[in-house]
Amino acid sequence: RRTEYSPNNHFMYWVDKRSRSERQRAARQVREAKKHGNDDAHGGFGRGDQEEFVSAMHLLDNVHETRHELDKAREYAEKHQDDDEAQEQVKKWDKKLKAAKKAKQDEEEKNWKPPTENLRMTYLEWLEHANVTDDKLGPDNPHWYFRLIGCGDMGEHTADGSCDKGSSEWLFDELTFFQPRLGERRPFYMIEPLQQKGIHCRFGMKGVIAENHFDLSRNAIALLGGQRRYILAHPNQCNNMNLLPRGHPSARHSAVDWANPDLDNFPTFSKAHVNEIVMQPGDVLYLPTNWFHYIISLELNFQCNTRSGGERLYRKEVNDCGF
């Protein structure tokens, strides 16, 4: 069973790009801190500072722009092999790309830390952390997000539940409306059953925020208990979302802290158009491919969702802002 820990109430997906030795060193530091009496030591550090995100975005944009210039120089040089100046241009842009990547890597090593820590605990252990009185909540207090995963057939060699240690394949028996059946028995919520990517259940502590992002697949979300507020935006709002770019550990997520937006660094965010819903138990939300969503747990709650393929709908909108 997975549980995510955050030192505050912000949760942001991330891809660990640290080397094996860096990950091991970070884990040792947490173990040593706990050994010396710091029981609150964890390997999750929160969403990060908005100004640091601005710097990271500029460095990544520079990498992408430099790579684009290198590709153009290479294409020209291939067609003009006798042009010495064209060959020199390739060398120049190749050197600039290496420098841009080095600057990006140096910045990440200096400033980036994992926003959350992935842990293993039982539901009852999670509930002990999550089911607390309001005086122990608030944006500056630790929050915990419990997850169950029914792998199903998430690709080659995953039908045995190997996509997650201790996976919960019984979810397919309990949530029959998410079973990937074909033909006349195809569930209403499954558009492409053969493209299903498992069943994911998330148990949210009151106050948990899932940062704004978009996904490349369609999603059906069933709320089974509690209340969740969803703030949704059409993909045509992409340029107003100030997304962390390709190559960032949390790419596709907004760099803006929606709970406290920095409009000096992200002025276009004030132009974003959104709508919102509050999901009640028994509600099901269909979230199309590439739609933005920002989620707040209004109370202790749990939801289950499943993805069933994607479509190229709104690809132009997300391509135009770098994806």
Please, which residues have CB within 8 angstroms of residue 238's CB and are 6 or more apart in sequence? Answer: 214, 292, 317, 318, 320, 321
Q: Residue 312's pLDDT is what? A: 86
With tokens 């120089």, the residue in question is 73
Section 203-220 average pLDDT: 95
Q: What is the DSSP string of 265-308?
A: T-GGGGG---EEEEE-TT-EEEE-TT-EEEEEESSSEEEEEEEE
Q: How confident is the model at residue 149 (pLDDT cuts 50, 70, 90)?
A: very high
Q: What is the pLDDT of residues 57-80, one digit of tens each?
A: 899 889 999 999 999 999 999 999
Section 233-254 average pLDDT: 93
Q: What is the pTM of this model?
A: 0.89
φ, ψ of residue 118 in degrees (nearest 5): -90, 125
Q: What is the pLDDT of residues 104-139, one digit of tens each?
A: 888 887 888 999 999 999 999 999 999 999 999 998
